[in-house]
Amino acid sequence: MPVVLWFRRDLRLADHPALLAAVQGARAADDEVVALFVADPALWRVSGSPRLAYLVRSLRALDEATGGRLVVRRGAPATVVPSLVREVGAAAVHVTAATEPYGRRRDEAVERALDVPLVRTGSPYAVAPGRLVTRGGTPFQVFTPFRSAWLDHGWSAPAVRPRTVPWASVRSDGLPDEPATDVILPAAGEHAAHRRWRTFLEDGLDDYRWARDRPDLDGTSALSVHLKYGELHPRTLLADLAARPSSDSVGTYRSELAWREFHADVLWHHPGAAHRSLRPVVPDDAWASGATADALFAAWAEGRTGYPFVDAGMRQLRATGWMHNRVRMVVASFLVKDLHVRWQRGADHFMAWLVDGDVPQNQLNWQWVAGTGRDAAPYFRVFNPVTQGEKFDPDGDYVRRWVPELRGVAGRAVHQPWRLGLEAPDDYPSPVVDHATERRVALDDFHRRGG
């Protein structure tokens, strides 16, 4: 009797505990492992073209890694998985445990429909969401004590990669068609992920503590998409960091991984946070609505707000399906607190374009900026799009790269083109709002609600 290994957010063969469990189960029965991926229409419908195009490429790499034995089936998992189990006479279905709200509901439905065990081994995180609680037995509300508990708890060493896997040969529906997209996608697959990580360890880690805030530099690891699809596991990264001499940059990178796990933990305990604010911060009448909100949102989404640092970020998103983290915070703050548009609308736009779009990270980071989440930035913290640009893009190189209308403006003057008078470019828009004015409006709204 073979076993099924159902791939989801774990498109790799190394450091894969569920794969090891499947191989052990198959060998105990002197049988094979069926490598399954389900093209779930419920997820396909809500995923942007950039993310789907990347996913197809990652699946192609996984298919090659399994010797062409990846079995792709299309349909609702609660129907597809039991059908495949009956077709091959499988003894069990092995998975990496799902932690996000939809995945948990999906797996419960599949488990009810199966006549064999659904075996959950491992999670996409170093410490599974929901495992850590305060001394009082309640979920963590603040990041710093969560990080301390996370570090104290620790994590397993990376799982060894099996030398050989007895992959079964089973009919497949074939890889999904890759949707058309103009987004410049990064290289996909487990090998590409490890290649990027090795390059960062050698060339980027030492300067990470300060360079990570500079969008004009290649100062981040750019691993978010690889982590999203599980092309490598954070446990692998943490093991490699532990092998390095202790430094501020190593500690900072480890903390960034902890933030990722904190957001997953928050969503585990509060699944509604994917769509609802965890706490209100302003009265309902503070939000822009109707044609005004639509026009402001369109200017923001298309990168024509008249604020160069914001516009550069939004255009980078459209071109690459990715945006530097510092810029993500600035453009999110601008939408919520300068344009007074609800965070959910911005989060939806990000999920439509981001290649690394990941529900716990995207939604909870938006709530952090909006001041509505757990351990969020206070609502009265309003990012100034000009001073942020001047501080983190001091020579204006990032803006000039993504806003071609301003390539003739030298130095930091690029962050305030409206001050150039007759030398201001004719084809770049004037600011859609006055930041100082809208900041006061945001703070007044906050205080109106008793903030």
What number of H helices and E strands is found in the chain?
Answer: 19, 5
Q: What is the distance between the alpha carbons of residues 152 and 132, in angstroms, rounded to a whole number?
A: 10
* 384 in active site: no
**Active-site residue, from 366, 368, 390, 402:** 366
User: Of the listed 111, 155, 178, 325, which one is catalytic?
Assistant: 325
Predicted local confidence at residue 378, as pLDDT? 80
258 in a structural domain = yes
Instruction: Decide if 327 is inside a domain.
Output: yes
Provide the domain limits for residue 244: 191-269
Note whether 235 and 299 are same-domain residues.
Answer: no
Low-confidence ranges of the chain (pLDDT < 50): none
Active site residue 366: yes
User: Does any domain span residue 180?
Assistant: no
369 and 404 housed in the same domain: yes
Q: What domain count does the chain have?
A: 3
Active-site position among 111, 178, 256, 438? 256
Contact 317, 354 (CB under 8 A): yes
pLDDT at residue 423 in the model = 83
Edge-to-edge order in the sheet of strand 71-74: 71-74, 33-39, 3-7, 93-95, 118-120
Q: Domain check: are 375 and 425 in the same one?
A: yes
**CATH number (domain holding residue 37):** 3.40.50.620
Check residue 193 and report its DSSP letter: H
Same domain, 306 and 378: yes
Which DSSP category does 354 fall into?
Answer: -
pLDDT on residue 376? 72
> What are the structure tokens assigned to 149, written together?
């508990």
Task: Answer whether residue 156 is part of any domain.
Answer: no
CATH number where 418 lies: 1.10.579.10
Same domain, 258 and 368: no
197 is catalytic: no
What is residue 205's predicted lDDT score, i.e. its pLDDT? 98
**202 is annotated as an active-site residue:** no
Could you tell me if 117 and 46 lie in one domain?
A: yes
Q: How many CB atoms lie within 10 A of CB 183?
A: 20
Residues 73 and 106 in one domain: yes
Q: What DSSP assignment string belongs to 325-378?
A: HHHHHHHHHIIIIIS---HHHHHHHHHHH-TT--HHHHHHHHHHHHT-STTPPP
- Write the CATH number for 227: 1.25.40.80
pTM for the full model? Answer: 0.95
The pLDDT of residue 224 is: 97
CA 370 to mean position of chain CA atoms: 18
Residues 82 and 109 in one domain: yes
Among 237, 269, 301, which residue terminates a domain? 269
Q: Is residue 389 in some structural domain?
A: yes
At 120 the pLDDT is: 98
Tokens of 193: 């992920």
- Catalytic residue, candidates 343, 353, 368, 402: 343
Boundary of a domain, candidates 122, 145, 164: 122
Catalytic residue among 155, 259, 405, 438: 259
**Is residue 287 among the annotated active site residues?**
yes
Q: What is the C-alpha end-to-end distance of the chain, expressed in Å?
A: 62
411 and 322, same structural domain? Answer: yes
- Answer yes or no: do 335 and 444 share one domain: yes
> What's residue 375's pLDDT?
82
Q: Which of 111, 155, 287, 405 is catalytic?
A: 287
**Contact assessment for residue 352 and residue 402, using Cβ atoms and an 8 Å cutoff:** no
Same domain assignment for residues 250 and 300: no
- Name the residue among 291, 292, 329, 293 with its Cα closest to residue 309: 329
Can 368 be counted among the known catalytic residues?
no
Quick check: is 138 in a domain? no
Give the three-class secondary structure for 394: coil
For residue 4, what are the β-bridge partners? 34, 93
305 and 246 within one domain: no
pLDDT at residue 451, rounded to an integer? 62
Q: Which of 97, 122, 147 is the last residue of a domain?
A: 122
- Whether 67 maps to a domain, the answer reads yes
Question: What's residue 422's pLDDT?
Answer: 72
| Structural domain contains residue 229 | yes
DSSP-derived pairing of the beta strands 33-39 and 3-7: parallel
pLDDT at 295: 97
